[in-house]
Amino acid sequence: MSTNTKIAFIGLGVMGGPMTGHLARAGFDVSAYNRSPGRAAKWRKAWDDEGLSVRFAETPARAAEGADVVCTCVGNDEDLSSVTTAENGVLEAMGEGALLIDHTTTSADMARSLAEACEAKGVIFVDAPVSGGQAGAENGQLAIMCGGSDTAMERARPVMEPYAKAIVHVGPVGAGQTAKMANQMCIAGILGGLSEAIRLAQGAGLDLDKTYEAISGGAAQSWQMDNRWQTMTTDEFDFGFAIDWMRKDLGYALDEAKRLGLSSPITAMVDQFYAEVQAKGGNRYDTSGLITRLPKAV
């Protein structure tokens, strides 16, 4: 895909902002929209200071005018509807043959519904939720799981490459979102066990650095252990992806499992553990804040 390609990016949060910056650095012609003017102003200054050229629009539709590709990365199903199919949404302005890549984590039903709306306008659609957190977005190292046609993926892949370390075409529309649900279920289960393991090590008076060294080289190793063991032991929980958003994602996963007639008791249990953390004011902790529901041994 030519770097003359016009791309509109909708949603400049902790994920979308860095992703937009990577597109501008790659030489694409980029426009942007964010619902919060304050956050848009923050990114405008950062990109101006870096010498990047990103145009800002007053509505999603204005950002999408003349765009070959529109990327969205917002909060949930309702947020996505508001910037795509609602008044002044991007579909008002997108022309036939344009491509919509959605990086929001949504329900699979939302992905399928949006795909139908795109098809009615001759717009190509890919659902492409991401994993890797704020650090992955900032470093251009996101894992992207995609749902859509082979043709759509051929168009979408060069757009996503500037901020991805892995792009996997999982299946048809909705498959990307379902894979992301599986991803979040895995994270939830791992953090549940990791939280209890840290409290055990603390309660037994073990050297926490030595304990990490001892167990991280074996079968217990995980990304969460490598990146959050130290911060969880020092009560640091400000790493981007909030518990509020994790509960939203787990809700989608539990709903989809129920629709498929499946039981997900571990996910349901950890979801309720997160609810307990929320009730104590930990809504904006990152997902490793799950450990705070477990008291330390005295």
Q: Indicate which residues carry an active-site annotation.
A: 180
- From the number of C-beta atoms within 10 Å of its C-beta (0-12, 13-18, 19+), residue 251 rates as middle
Beta-carbon contacts of 167 under 8 Å, excluding residues fewer than 6 positions away, are 144, 146, 157, 160, 161
From residue 48, alpha-carbon distances to 54, 56, 138, 184 in Å are 8, 12, 17, 35
Would you state the structure tokens that stand for residue 200, as one six-digit string?
């055990």
